[in-house]
Amino acid sequence: MLTRRLAVAGALALGLSLPLALPAAAQEAAKKIPVVASFSILGDFVKEVGGDRVSVTTLVGPNGDAHVFQPAPADAKKVASAQIVFVNGLGFEGWIDRLVKASGTKAEIVVATKGITPREMADEDEDDHAAQGHKDHDHDHAKKGEHDHDHGGTDPHAWQSVANAEIYVANIRDALIAADPAGKAAYEANASAYTAKLEALDAQVKAAMAAIPESRRRIITSHDAFGYFGAAYGVEFIAPQGVSTESEASAKDVARIIRQIKAENIPAVFMENISDPRLVKRIAKETQAKIGGELFSDALSDDKGPASTYIDMMKNNITQLSSALSS
Residues that bind Zn ion (CB under 5 A): 225, 298
Give the count of beta carbons closer than 10 Å to the beta carbon of residue 167: 18
Give the count of beta carbons closer than 10 Å to the beta carbon of residue 188: 15
Nearest to 137, CA basis, from 156, 150, 149, 124: 124
Cβ atoms 64, 39 nearer than 8 A: yes
Q: Where are the beta strands (DSSP E) in 221-289?
A: 236-238, 268-272
Cβ atoms 62, 308 nearer than 8 A: yes
Nearest to 54, CA basis, from 197, 192, 194, 173: 173
115 to 24, 45, 124, 160, 161: CA distances (angstroms)? 39, 17, 27, 15, 14
Q: 46 burial class (0-12, 13-18, 19+ CB within 10 angstroms)?
A: buried
Cβ neighbours of residue 193 under 8 Å, at least 6 residues apart? Answer: none
Question: H helices within 16-132, ranges in order?
Answer: 18-21, 24-31, 40-50, 73-80, 96-103, 129-132
Residue 314's Cα: distance from chain center in Å?
Answer: 11
Q: SS3 of 299, please?
A: coil
45 to 36, 187, 191, 212, 325: CA distances (angstroms)? 12, 12, 9, 29, 29
